[in-house]
Structure 1
Amino acid sequence: MAPKQPDIFTQAVTTSGGELIDLGPDTRGLIWLSNSRVGPLDDVLEANPQLNWVQLPWAGVDAFSELLARRGRPGLIFTSAKGCFAEPVAEHAIMLAQALLRYLPRRARATSWDSTFLGISMYNKRLVIVGAGGVAREIIRLVEPYRVHVTIVRRSGVPVPGAHLTVSSDQLRDVLPDADVVIVAAALTTDTRNIIGREEFDLMKPSAAFVNIARGALVDSVALVETLTSGHLVGAATDVTDPEPLPDGHPLWTAPNMLITPHMADTPEMTAPLLAERVRRNVAAYLAGRPLEGVVDPSLGY
């Protein structure tokens, strides 16, 4: 386990029948707990060709994309935390969407009582989710009581359980004009970078709410600022930015009806127990020769 060994992860390994040992010729599996220290992991893989399983710490593996492309080989399995943090992230996404529909960015900045009655209910609305992973599926489950019509946009177009409609990525622009809420919950790859730009924003209804809960680089932030400044969209909210952290003075901070949370949809308090449970199950599966959860396809980047 590297580069550190918090007790919760140590217990996850040992209670599932695994043994923690110093990295060496007898090491077969590695739990990597840093999302930012890609270089050291590359060095570890170079020096330890006997490794056949690496557990990565987060659902998104874009930080490791070059490493995955370089180090991916038959016999070496990478797993991520995809699906682990779906519940808190989906919860946060819906909270942001409802805040926009109820005009909370404007209300929160008000300095006097506004008697204008503005607000949109989520009930019976049309929701487009870009992405079909664990977060998207949890959003589908959580919005069911709202009688929301859900459209999923995914690379393959294969139907997603619970969604009323699933379309492939090349049909994204076809479904945007009818959306009341658009939530981006996709993995960041070379194909999805800036998947939402000026043309996509122009296709959305002026009354639509836009939420990015995945990665900042999925959205053209310049186009987003221009869209909000023009008054097109009821508002936008994001838990992620590009660049991140978002610098002081960046136009997104002051864009009209913009709501920003600082990558807090899945705080360490929430994620540590969830990742530890994924580690526990994967160690048990690894020892028993069963399929692992969250397997990453290096060629796809997720």
Structure 2
Amino acid sequence: MTRSDRFAHQAVTGEAKTLPDEQRPAVGPIALLPAAKAESRFVDAVSDAGGEIGELGSDTRAVVWLANDHPEALVEVLEQHPQIQWVQLPWAGVDAFADALSSHDRADLLWTSAKGAYAQPVAEHALALALAGLRSLSLRARATSWGEKIGESLYGASVTIVGAGGIAIELIRLLQPFSAEVTIVRRSAGEVSGAFRTVTSDRLDDVLPETDVLILAAASTGETRHLIDARRLSLLKPSAVLVNIARGPLVDTDALLDALQDERLLAAGLDVTDPEPLPEGHPLWTEPRALITPHSADTPEMIAPLLAERVRANVEAFVSTGRFIGIVDPKSGY
């Protein structure tokens, strides 16, 4: 038995949505694309759910898209096969497929993503970056002498999470042992179980001054681009830590670099950057208060079984129950 077998992440799915019969895609053969990425676990997931796997052709009714690059290839598939009525995407965030979503936003095409599926590994990484930032581990990793004793504690800290999806839900659970006071900032009104409070995004400025750790877990859209800019960075305490495990464009990189260099922020833990990959020689690489990981919060080894489970659940919805998880609204971009 391997370590991954003994310590498996579980999908944080959120609520499934049952589509009325008239909105359900027509059942038919499912193509796993690109074919080179159709490993056995995905084939088994479709078969176990009662789905029929077939090569891409005129009778194809659904596509499970397994590639994380070259989204233009998916656009080409949809243009050549307009009879396809359901597409399962491989990532929680769908910004890479923005062109496909906008050009094929039609009533008879259902889009689903993996949102929520990777919440556990990503939340685990966010917690690691938050602890590293509070304990100034990026400074110590670069140190060449003993230096002074510095560090803040996560116990009892005020943690603000922007986003209310699966990552936020899992973070609330992981933060419980630290007695952290969690504030959720979300687009729409509504309480999130386990949070100290939930506020709408128009109140973000109100909660930033009291925040010890700011964790970004929101979708990347036109509305959220540079959500954290120079003005909002100035609202944070000099002892605050910023963690971004969502998408790089949520943060104004130049403004963040200025805040770190001027010591107006204790630390930043970044699993995503703008641009991405962060170019060699970029000043963030040598900024001692920045800890950067290469978009590795959810490694391929971690996410493959989680994606397979999402595929299984949604193929079951496709062929029988109609209860789909991770439905995407092409207009909102998530």
- TM bin, normalised by shorter chain, reads over 0.9
Distance 1:248 1:43 in 2: 33
Counterpart selection for 2:295 from 263, 280, 287: 263
Distance 1:98 1:125 in 2: 11
For the pair 1:122 / 2:154, whether they are aligned, the reply is yes
Query: What secondary structure is seen at the aligned counterpart in 1 of 2:268?
Result: strand
Q: Which runs of 5+ in 1 are unaligned?
A: none
Aligned residue identity for 2:78: L
Q: How far did residue 234 of structure 1 move?
A: 1.1
Q: How far did residue 227 of structure 1 move?
A: 0.1
RMSD over aligned Cα, in angstroms?
1.0
Distance 1:286 1:241 in 2: 36
Match of 1:40 in 2: 73
Query: What secondary structure is seen at the aligned counterpart in 2 of 1:224?
Result: helix
Equivalent residue runs for 1:168-183 within 5 Å: 168-183=200-215
Match of 1:58 in 2: 91
Conserved? CA contact 1:157–1:169, under 8 Å: no
Conserved? CA contact 1:60–1:80, under 8 Å: yes
Distance 1:152 1:229 in 2: 28
Counterpart selection for 1:71 from 99, 104, 117: 104
Q: Deviations over 1:164-206 (max 9, x none)?
A: 1111111111100000100011100000011001011100001
Match of 1:225 in 2: 257
Aligned residue identity for 2:50: G
Match of 1:106 in 2: 139
Match of 1:25 in 2: 58
Runs (4+) off by over 4 Å:
none
Distance 1:157 1:18 in 2: 38
Aligned residue identity for 2:158: R
Aligned residue identity for 1:31: V
Q: How far did residue 22 of structure 1 move?
A: 1.0
Equivalent residue runs for 1:190-209 within 5 Å: 190-209=222-241
Query: What secondary structure is seen at the aligned counterpart in 2 of 1:20?
Result: coil
Q: How far did residue 143 of structure 1 move?
A: 0.4
Aligned residue identity for 2:131: Q
Conserved? CA contact 2:142–2:288, under 8 Å: no
Aligned residue identity for 2:172: I
Q: How far did residue 35 of structure 1 move?
A: 2.2
Q: How far did residue 272 of structure 1 move?
A: 0.5
Distance 1:30 1:146 in 2: 43
Match of 1:249 in 2: 281
Distance 1:224 1:150 in 2: 23
Distance 2:39 2:70 in 1: 17
Segment drifting more, 196-205 vs 2-11: 2-11
Query: What secondary structure is seen at the aligned counterpart in 2 of 1:295?
Result: coil
Conserved? CA contact 2:95–2:333, under 8 Å: yes
Match of 1:276 in 2: 308
Aligned residue identity for 1:52: Q
Q: Which runs of 5+ in 2 are unaligned?
A: 1-31
Distance 1:205 1:166 in 2: 21
Q: How far did residue 157 of structure 1 move?
A: 2.8
Match of 2:43 in 1: 10
- Per the normalisation by structure 1, the TM-score is 0.98
